[in-house]
Amino acid sequence: RYTTSITSGFLISRYTTSITSGFLMTRYTTSITSGFLITRYTTSITSGFLISRYTTSITSGERRDYRGSSGEPQQPHDADEAEKSLSRSELLKKHQQRPTGKRTHCCSDCGKRFNSSGIKIHQRTHTGEKPYGCVQCGKSFGQSGEKPYSCGQCGKSFAASGSLALHQRTHTGEKSYSCDQCGKSFTASGSLTVHQRRHTGEKPYSCDECGKSFTASSNLTVHQRTHTGEKPYSCDQCGKSFAASGSLALHQRTHTGEKPYNCDQCGKSFTTSSQLTIHQRTHTGEKSFNCAQCGKSFTRPDSLKLHQRTHTGEKSYSCNQCGNSFSTSRSSHLVSHQRTHTGEKPYSCDQCGKSFTQSSSLVSHQRTHTGEQPYSCDQCGKGFTLSTNLVSHQRTHTGHQPYSCDVCADSFTTSSQLVVHQRVHTGEKPYSCNQCGKSFTQSNSLKSHQRTHTGEKPYSCDQCDKRYSHSNGLIKHHKIHAGDPQSVE
């Protein structure tokens, strides 16, 4: 192409040769604008990486020469064009220096991998550095708290683009990282690394106060709060505080009633995905966790761990009021026991008002109103409100008594029966009446005794108005209505 144009007295001449397929492009331009001579000549062979530019610029009496990568003078070129070229190359350098998303930086303390921005934030967990301070209370934090990256589907915000990318996989279902031992898949490589430690037994994160080890640094952080008592996550509805953000999220569902995880076989809903997974095993019968000593199988790893303590006798958690020991600190054991001292019963039935120390006890009680017996024996068809009662019942068919006394060799179908029996040998009576001081080996014996002080008679005859403080008294009374001549009250 050759073009000559005179615009408002300005002469502009252009000459262009372009061979696109061969990547040869030649441009020659002469322009006289307001008395300024600007000459450009460019030859560009892209595939061969040869780029030559020559610029002569006479602007207000100034002359500038620009040289190419070879160091030789090039042909006349405009100063503005050269400056644009330089700015483009700077942009290219900056672009090439941008994070690629690959975790190329390895933490020298723990070996965990991050991208360039993530490694700086992570290292603060080792150094303890907290550069961001609250102007109102002075509390310091390792991260600013700013969350500029938002999910377009649910609106959730994140502090890092990588965290958003991982979150989006919860919507797409993508799980790119698979365990080569069990086949389980994960959305993030870090989750796979933590999971693989279950197979290897590696626990690289240790508490410097008690020595307990963990597979993930986040678990160590939460655990350390049991020593410090820190509970930084508070419910804005009831004020209850938690050591972990996940615990707060689960708690908030008790206010909202949200149960987002549904069983596709029976339609039952759950507040957590782990509860759904455990429930689904009631349909499949899967019990993947086996005791190496007695062969008993469990649907959950923590249930197996608790069971193993019945063999070892380990009781790591003690009541600070009476010294009674328990194999676990969970609500079903130590916390529930402590409520026998405080009298606290936080779980109430909305139909009859009866209160309980454990949520599981309330759930079981509510089935007495609904008549629900979700656990059935496959041999005789008998139904039960609790799965543990079904397991104990099934042993009446098999004759299996897996719990043996190491003193007299008597065997029992349940661990609780063994515990009560062992008190015969030890003389232990851990349940004491706070009114008269009398002690008992079982909690239900204490409850029955306390009715002699309160006068409570919870067992009533459905044929007459007579009431009893103990169930065996009601059973004897029923025989009178049945016409049993040997029954005397």
Question: Residue 68 — pLDDT band, cuts 50, 70, 90?
Answer: very low
Chain segment 189-227, per-residue pLDDT in tens: 888 989 999 899 899 999 998 999 998 888 898 999 989
H or E segment and range at residue 356: strand 355-356
DSSP secondary structure string for all residues of 91-105 = HHHHHHTS--S---E
**Which residues partner with 453 through β-bridges?**
none
How far is it, in rounded angstroms, from Cα 34 to Cα 31?
Answer: 10
Backbone angles phi, psi at 459, to 5 degrees: -105, 115
Q: What is the pLDDT of residue 26?
A: 43
Chain segment 342-386, per-residue pLDDT in tens: 888 888 888 888 888 878 788 888 888 888 888 889 889 898 888
Question: Residue 453 — pLDDT band, cuts 50, 70, 90?
Answer: very high
Q: What is the pLDDT of residue 426?
A: 92
Question: Residue 99 — pLDDT band, cuts 50, 70, 90?
Answer: very low
Q: What is the pLDDT of residue 89?
A: 62
Question: Residue 460 — pLDDT band, cuts 50, 70, 90?
Answer: confident
Pick the more confident residue, 96 or 426.
Answer: 426
Q: Is the predicted pLDDT of residue 8 greater than 50, yes or no?
A: no
Q: Closest Cα partner for 271 from 283, 285, 282, 258?
A: 258
How far is it, in rounded angstroms, from Cα 33 to Cα 13?
Answer: 11
Q: Is the predicted pLDDT of residue 403 greater than 80, yes or no?
A: yes
Chain segment 14-33, per-residue pLDDT in tens: 444 444 433 444 444 444 44
How far is it, in rounded angstroms, from Cα 347 to Cα 221?
Answer: 30
> For 72-160, where are the alpha helices, taking DSSP H only?
79-96, 116-127
How far is it, in rounded angstroms, from Cα 125 to Cα 108?
Answer: 13
* Residue position matching structure tokens 């001292």: 341
**How far are the Cα atoms of 62, 143, 169, 350, 464 from residue 113, in angstroms, in the given order?**
54, 18, 20, 51, 75
Q: What is the pLDDT of residue 421?
A: 92
Per-domain residue ranges of the chain = 2-79
Q: How many CA atoms does the CB half-sphere of 305 hold within 13 Å?
A: 9
How far is it, in rounded angstroms, from Cα 489 to Cα 476?
Answer: 7
Predicted model pTM: 0.35
Three-state DSSP at 306 gives helix
Q: What is the pLDDT of residue 436?
A: 94
Give the helix, strand, coil percentages of the chain, each rounded to 5: 35, 20, 45
